[in-house]
Chains A and B, each alone.
Chain A
Amino acid sequence: MPFWATYVFLYLPIVVLVLMSFNSGKSVYTYEGFSLKWYGELAGDERIREGLVNTLIVAAGSTVIATVLGTLLAVGLARHTRSKLLDALALMPAVLPDLVLAIGLLVFYGMIQMTLGLHSVILAHGLFSMAFVAAVVRTRLTNADTSLEEASRDLGAGPVSTFMRITLPQLLPGIVAGALLAFTLSLDEFVIAFFTVGNSDQTLPIVIYSMIRFGVTPKINALAAILLLVSFTAVIAGQRLTKIGETRAQD
């Protein structure tokens, strides 16, 4: 009984949200009949479109940074140092409250007189995403077989070529999973973006935030329904991908 109650608790609000997006009336509270007009309005909303494009730019940019740096960092931490301090440092962006990161970055950008824009959010998202990528890749590294790497080194390959030829292919599923995680985290991130984004560009979560602050409209429901669909597909696809990656890696 409590088992199902948990799921009802988790899904009831979402179901109502989606249902109301098909409301033909003006209110989000009373269902008046089926209509897709709010989806039409949504498609015509330039602000949301721009927010979506900006969000995708930020997510792509920060994922690239996080994946490259996070992977290198994971390998470095697992293979080239035993420092607990560095381990903790690498995890810190994932553990610290987002508000603290956001404020630190705002203060820092202010001090170096950096013009805020999408680039400042990309750098900020890169920071915490890197920690997640590093953590995911590291778990794979600790489970990975080190004998191949040792053999490669014994045969005279440098650390870089050992990495490129041996370690990287072994790590690929982990890296892909990490990158996916980084991308999804960035897509939904609000607090850090809110504090570090410039005046002229807003990411989608920021647009949603100000829309909600100015009242409830079925347009937000329509947006919510679409975002839900995208997230659900992404999570399920991600699950499949990592599974395929894992079975392949085992072969």
Chain B
Amino acid sequence: MKSEAKARPASRGRRLGAFVFLSPGLTYLIVLLLVPLGLMVSYTVFQRGRFGGVVYEFTTENFSRLVDPLYLGVLGTSLRIAAVTTLIALLVGYPTAYLIAQLPNRWKTAALVAIVLPFWTNFLIRVYAWIMLLSGPGVVNSLLGTKLELLYKEGTIVAGLLYSYLPLMVLPLYATIEKLDPQLREASANLGASAFTTFRKVTLPLTLPGVMTGCLFVFVPSFGNFVIPEMLGGNKTVMVGNLIRNQFLSARDWPFGSTLALALVAVLVVLLLVQSWAARRA
């Protein structure tokens, strides 16, 4: 037996190995990822059934609906909300990550784990916590004795998204800032650069990949979110995620829902390409 195995040409063994290791996972990916995505792609050219479902008759209507001002407006709102969230997350996350990286070693891990911990608790419960804090009779109002209208605004949605995804900004930022050679900054300072110039000319460019990754990590889930606009937005703001969800849950328009979902993916792919292009230039 052994000698037989030995005699086997190496390339055959390698191909067998490739088959053994790759085929189970790839089959799974093909059946449950590529085929469903393919189905969604095919649904984009079909029509909604009278009472839901799909009628397999060709139409381009789903695409023309995409550029309808109503849906473009929703896209704009989603982009704005996700962008504002990402920007704030960056402004809050960068100094936080920077300061964690300056901590003595034994505190670093603890500080980092403390950032991530809330992220590992149920997402819905974190959203619920905000309803509790901000609603009309909520904790903030009863503590302050005020009757402020805090919930159901675009700002509340941003706060909820920021709360949910801030850790995803801090982690990649920390990873790049940690790797920075402190000597570079010292050198810059020794050469007479101000702290700000050092930051702008040395630290920031070197941590740019982390900034990009962090922004992407925050932007993607914010952009497609539907739970937070629903729960913290009082159904008064519609984001792409709500729109997609509604096509499947209330409008029963699977073809248009699929089209919207793929449009969401397209926007994200464009952003990814921009990001990798920027990263290569940096």
Contact = CB atoms under 8 A, between A and B. Distances in A.
Interface of A: 2-3, 5-7, 9-11, 13-14, 16-17, 20, 27-30, 65, 68-70, 72-73, 75-77, 79-81, 86, 89-90, 92-93, 95-101, 103-108, 111, 123-124, 126-127, 130, 134, 153, 156-160, 163, 184, 188, 190-191, 195, 204-205, 208-209, 212-213, 216, 220-221, 223-224, 227-228, 231-232, 234-236, 239
A96 B226 contact: no
A81 B122 contact: no
Contact of A80 (B21, B113, B135, B261): B21
Interface string B1-31: 0100110001001101110111011101100
A86 B125 contact: no
B96 A81 contact: no
Contacts of B227: 190-191, 209
A103 to B, nearest CB: 5
A167 to B, nearest CB: 10
Interface in B258-272: 258, 261-262, 264-265, 268
B5 A156 contact: yes
7 contacts: A3-B100, A28-B132, A100-B261, A104-B36, A153-B10, A190-B227, A208-B128
B122 A13 contact: no
Contact of A99 (B21, B26, B93, B245): B245
Contacts of B43: 107
B71 interface: no
Nearest to A221: B132
A79 B100 CA distance: 37
B102 to A, nearest CB: 10
A99 to B, nearest CB: 5
B45 interface: no
Contact of B131 (A73, A216, A232): A216
Nearest to A209: B124
Interface residues of B, number: 81
A77 B22 contact: yes
B162 to A, nearest CB: 8
A6 B248 contact: no
A107 B39 contact: yes
Contacts of B18: 76, 80-81
Chain B contact residues: helix, strand, loop or mixed: helix
Contacts of A228: 121, 125
B208 interface: no
B139 A224 contact: no
Contacts of A127: 28-29, 32-33
Contacts of B127: 212
B133 A16 contact: yes
Interface in B86-121: 92-93, 95-96, 99-100, 109, 113-118, 120-121
B257 interface: yes
Given A73-B22, A224-B128, 4 more contacts: A13-B132, A20-B139, A76-B18, A111-B39
Interface centre among A10, A89, A90, A195 (most CB of B within 10 A): A10
